Structure 1
C-alpha cells in the first residue's frame, strides 16, 4: 500500500509541475512535423545496440556488477507499477484539463494500438530469440523485456501528446520507463540488451503510429468535453471508469 501511495504521489507531482509550465509552452510557435527517419532513428539505434551486445562478455560483466552493487538478495515489485505511470499521468492530465495533442478518445485509441502491437512484437521475438534470463529461469524468454517495451510505449504516447504544451509532463514518462528497465536488470530478470531492445520496440511502434496519425478517425465523443474514460489497472485486472464532469 505504501508503494502505491508513493507512486501516485510522484505521478501527481509531475502533473502539477506541467500545469504550472503549460502557459509558457502554449505561447511558443507550433513545431514542424519531424521526418519519419528522425522519429525512428533513436529507437532503431537502441534495438541495434541491444542486439550488438547481446550475449557478450561486456553484458555478462555489467550484469554481475549491477548485482554486486545492489546485493544478490535484491528483489522488488516496483517495476510492476512504474511501467503504468505514464498512463496514469496521461489521464490525470486530461482530468486536470491540460491541453494535449489529441482528444482523450483518440489518445486512448493510439495507446491501445501501441500496446497491442508492441506486445505482439515483443512476445514473438521472445519465442524466436530463446534467450535465457540472467536468473536462470527455465523459460527462455529473456529478450526483449516486456515490462520495458510496454513502459516505453506508454511513455512515448505521453510524450507525443504533451511535448508541445507541457514538456515536463511529456518527458517525465521516460523517467518512469527508464526506472522500469533499470529495475528489471537489478531484479536479475533481464540483461542490458533485453532492456535496450524492449525500449526501442516500444518507442519505435508508438512513434510510427503517431507519425501516421490519425490512424482511425472515428470518435463518438469528439463534440464532448466533459467526459473522460479512465483506465483501472490493479492486480492484473484491467477495466475503465467513465468520468463525467458536471458543468
Structure 2
C-alpha cells in the first residue's frame, strides 16, 4: 500500500501541477502558437524512461519497485479497459450537452491525430529497444503502450474540459495513473516503461492540438458538418499488447 500511494502521488503531482494553470481559467481560450514550455514535463518523463534502458541505478529502482509489489500475487485485467474511459467521457459529455473546448468534429480530428502519432512512435520504439518484460514473456516492454494511451486520453479530457471543471482533469489523470500502476503491478512493465509511456501520451496529445489548425484548414477545410463524420475506436488485444484501431469517415 505504501508503494501504491507513493506512485500515485508522484505521477499525479507532476502531471496535475503542470496542468493547473490552464484548468483555473474560464472561459475557454484558444492557444496562440505552440508553447514549448509545455513540452518540459512529457519530454522529462520520456527521458527518464530512456535512462532506464541502460542506466544501472534506474534499472535497480525498477527492480526494487517491482519486487515490492509482490510480482507473484493476484493479477487484475482492469487496466486493459479503464484506459479508454477519459476519451469516452469527453464524447459523452459533449453528447450530454456539456460543451468543451472543441466541437465533435474537431475533437475527432485531434484524438485521431494523437492516436496515429502515438501508435507509430510506440511501435517503432518497441521494435528497436527489445526490453524484456518483468514477466519475461516478451521483449516489447519499452515503452508501456497502455500507459501511453491512458495519458493521451487523460490529456485529451483535460484539454477539452479542464477549464469547465478541474475535476475532469483530476478524474482523467487519476485513471491514467491507476493504469500505469497496474501495468507494473501486473508484471507487464517496469517503472521506467510507464514513465516513458506517460510522457509519450501527453506529448503527442499536445502536438495534435498544435497541428489541429493546420489539419483543419488544409485537409478538412470543406468538412463543416459534424453529422458527416463517423469516428470509431476499436480495442484489439494481440496476447501481449493492446492496440487501438481507429476509423475516421467523412
TM-score (norm: length of structure 2): 0.74
RMSD: 3.0
User: d(CA) in 2 for partners of 1:61 and 1:178?
Assistant: 18
Structure 1 residues 164 and 136, CA gap change in structure 2 (3 angstroms): same
Contact 1:152–1:199, Cα closer than 8 Å, also in 2: yes
- 3-state SS of the aligned residue for 2:212? coil
User: d(CA) in 2 for partners of 1:172 and 1:78?
Assistant: 16
User: d(CA) in 2 for partners of 1:38 and 1:176?
Assistant: 25
Contact 1:103–1:222, Cα closer than 8 Å, also in 2: no
Find out whether 1:104 has 2:114 as its counterpart.
Answer: no
Residue of structure 1 equivalent to 2:149: 150
Question: How many positions carry a matched residue from both structures?
Answer: 215
Contact 1:86–1:154, Cα closer than 8 Å, also in 2: yes
Structure 1 residues 234 and 27, CA gap change in structure 2 (3 angstroms): closer
User: d(CA) in 2 for partners of 1:76 and 1:238?
Assistant: 23
Structure 1 residues 64 and 78, CA gap change in structure 2 (3 angstroms): same
TM-score (norm: length of structure 1): 0.74
Structure 1 residues 136 and 36, CA gap change in structure 2 (3 angstroms): same
Residue of structure 1 equivalent to 2:35: 36
Contact 2:122–2:143, Cα closer than 8 Å, also in 1: yes
User: d(CA) in 1 for partners of 2:246 and 2:61?
Assistant: 42
Residue of structure 2 equivalent to 1:3: none
Superposed, which structure 2 residues align to 1:113-192 within 5 Å?
A: 113-137=113-137, 139-192=138-191
Question: Deviation at 1:189?
Answer: 0.6
Structure 1 residues 95 and 70, CA gap change in structure 2 (3 angstroms): farther
Superposed, which structure 2 residues align to 1:67-82 within 5 Å?
A: 67-70=67-70, 72-82=72-82
Residue of structure 2 equivalent to 1:211: 210
Structure 1 residues 117 and 29, CA gap change in structure 2 (3 angstroms): closer
Structure 2: give runs of 5+ residues left out of the alignment. Answer: 1-23, 238-243
Question: Deviation at 1:66?
Answer: 3.9
Q: Residues 185-238 of structure 1: CA distance to partner in whole angstroms, max 9, x if unpaired? A: 0011100111111111111111012123324223777466x8996756577597
